[in-house]
Amino acid sequence: MTASLKFLVLRTSWLLSLPFFILVLPQALYVKKNTLRLLEAKGPRKGSINGDGCPIRILHVGESTVAGVGVTQLKNGFTAHLAASINQLSNRPVKWQVFGVNGIRLNELLMRLQQQPLDECDIAVVTMGVNDTTKLTSLKKWRQQIHLTVKRLSSVSQGPIIFTQVPFMEKFPALPAPLKYLLGLRAQLLDMELQRACRQYDNVHYVLSAPNIEPQFMAIDGYHPSEHGYQEWAQSISPSILEHHGK
């Protein structure tokens, strides 16, 4: 099945599923009310790792996973593990910077990025999509905001801009059926739109990054990765990120 046909099938399936949202609304409200709310991780939002040669500077922006929800300290979170993995693969020094906000959508992140002074970087990584899935951001707005995010990050990145895969939410332990299947379908649509947008640029890349969502890799809320989950996720995408950095 071609990518265009797959997108058409997913979009048709989504439109046909819309009436079912009335049936799952009570389930969605129950999940929102009863899911454990974890705080953003504490600690410095910048860090460095020693190595040989010129440092690789990483800017990581995004939602709750970038903000370290699921661990208590950012040094144990996604970005720090990503920096450590890139350091191990390249043996070069790595400097990392985090700009993550819990519960944020891409349009809200973009507004904050436009107001926030950012350090120059060699690699900009964007991890978004869960909140745009649950809050039903339209595909048109999602697509527009991706392009605006690329424009903003191009002003600070001296190298590639990397978008990580939108997590497929049907696997989240905290989400019951049938709600998780509807959100999973929506997440796949946003993910395919993200891939299409990235292909329009030479220096913007989509990286497959499906985190391991088995219970042993999840925090106690069943919604965010644990430290082990962040480490596994970071190690799974760092080779692709380094490959794009070297092009």
pLDDT tens per residue across span 76-112:
999 999 999 999 999 999 999 999 999 999 999 999 9
Confidence of residue 1 (pLDDT cuts 50, 70, 90): low
- Summarised one tens digit per residue, pLDDT across range 136-151 is 999 999 999 999 999 9
Share of the chain above pLDDT 90, in %: 73
- How far apart CA 139 and CA 142 sit, in angstroms, is 5
- Summarised one tens digit per residue, pLDDT across range 218-245 is 999 988 999 999 999 999 999 999 999 9
Share of the chain above pLDDT 70, in %: 99
Cα dihedral sign for 172, 175, 181, 184? Answer: negative
Amino acid sitting at position 50 = N
pLDDT of the residue at 247: 57
User: When comparing pLDDT for 10 and 158, which is higher?
Assistant: 158
Give 6-11's long-range contacts (Cβ < 8 A, gap of 24+): 6/192, 7/189, 7/192, 7/193, 7/196, 10/185, 10/188, 10/189, 10/192, 11/139, 11/189
Cα 115 off chain centre by: 21
Cis ω for the linkage preceding 178 (within 30 of 0): yes
Say if CB 113 and CB 47 are below 8 A apart: no
Of 185, 175, 164, 204, the closest CA to residue 63 belongs to: 164
- Residue whose structure tokens are 């905290």: 174
User: When comparing pLDDT for 115 and 22, which is higher?
Assistant: 115
pLDDT of 28 higher than 70: yes
Q: 14 is written with which tokens?
A: 């989504």
Q: Average pLDDT, whole number, for the chain?
A: 92
Confidence of residue 26 (pLDDT cuts 50, 70, 90): confident
Confidence of residue 208 (pLDDT cuts 50, 70, 90): very high
Helix (H) or strand (E) holding 161, with range, is: strand 161-164
- How far apart CA 146 and CA 106 sit, in angstroms, is 8
